[in-house]
Amino acid sequence: MRFGLSVLFTFETTILKERKLINRLNRIEKEKVRGQTALKENFDFGDSKVNIASCWPREDQLPGFRDFAMDFHQNCSRLIGKLLECLSVALKMEPDFFSCYHTGSMFVSSLLHYPAVSSTSVQPGQVVRNPAHSDFGTLTLLFQQNVGGLEVADMSSTEKSSSAAVEKSATFIPVEPNPEIVLVNVGYLLMRWTNARWKNSVHRVSAPSGSINSESIPERYSFAFFSYPDAQTIVEPLPACHNTEMPKRWGPINAGEYLLSKRDKLYS
């Protein structure tokens, strides 16, 4: 699953304003999470129906890369479809309820590279790669190699809810990498849809356990697949998730407007 991001950075990309959610190429230190630098680089791409041709490296630069990447993207889309059916049934809705709002045009694949870091520049307990955050959308699939660092907050260890407060107060549990396992995260919009019946996970990427005592913290590669509702979807708590004893926690929200506002803040 290792990929050559150094090659990807040799070509120019064109990003149209109305397509900010896809086809994004980020260099190290460009992305900010609550004002903190996320020490990573990534290449994001989306559904072939809305991709911009110039956002891909030429075939002679990375032979077969685009075909392989889009094939994997479509496989992830199919897996998301099956998971959405399961979630619909669990909520006693029609099996295609969630699928109707997820046609794939807002799905994003992200190839992630966390560069090696000198251990002498890192203090024990310091987050060095990606501060605590939660995902914006519906479901996220995460594929890891054999380098750790991913940690998930134990929400039972804190009364806080915001990512910033959780990072300061919660216990974080390392998620040991296993190339044979696909991790599934609940995103904010799914939490909102279910009236917090299913909560979004707060997670971060830190130094792998035991690496602080070595000369350097090894580089890390992973692949994330983010599923978002179609842009015009109105997300509000479902009937099965609220009643007089458990009233609605949120009103309706336009998914596209919400996601664009979050991405604007992320890359500002």
- Which domains does the chain possess? 5-267 (2.60.120.330)
Closest Cα to residue 198, out of 188, 183, 207?
188
- Which of helix, strand or coil describes residue 25? strand
Q: Say how many residues make up the chain.
A: 268
Closest Cα to residue 108, out of 232, 217, 223?
223
Q: HSE on the CB side for 43, CA within 13 Å?
A: 22
51 has pLDDT over 60: no
Burial class (CB in 10 A: 0-12, 13-18, 19+), 204: buried
pLDDT in tens, 204-258: 888 777 655 567 788 889 999 999 999 999 999 999 999 999 999 999 999 999 9
18 has pLDDT over 60: no
* Angle at 24 (CA atoms; ends 19, 29), nearest 5 degrees: 135
Q: In terms of pLDDT, which residue wins out, 121 or 70? A: 70
121 has pLDDT over 80: no
pTM: 0.84
Q: Which of 25-34, 49-58, 101-110, 122-131 has the lowest mean pLDDT?
A: 25-34
pLDDT in tens, 125-181: 555 678 888 999 999 999 998 888 899 999 888 887 888 788 888 898 999 989 899
10 has pLDDT over 50: no
Q: What is the mean pLDDT of residues 101-110?
A: 90
Q: Which residues pair with 141 in a beta bridge?
A: 184, 225
In which residue are the tokens 């807002």 written? 106
In which residue are the tokens 């230190």 written? 29
Other C-beta atoms closer than 10 Å to the C-beta of 121 total: 10
- Say if residues 119 and 155 touch (Cβ distance below 8 Å): no
- Say if residues 109 and 44 touch (Cβ distance below 8 Å): yes
In which residue are the tokens 């707060």 written? 202
pLDDT at 46: 85
Confidence bin at 24 (pLDDT 50/70/90): low
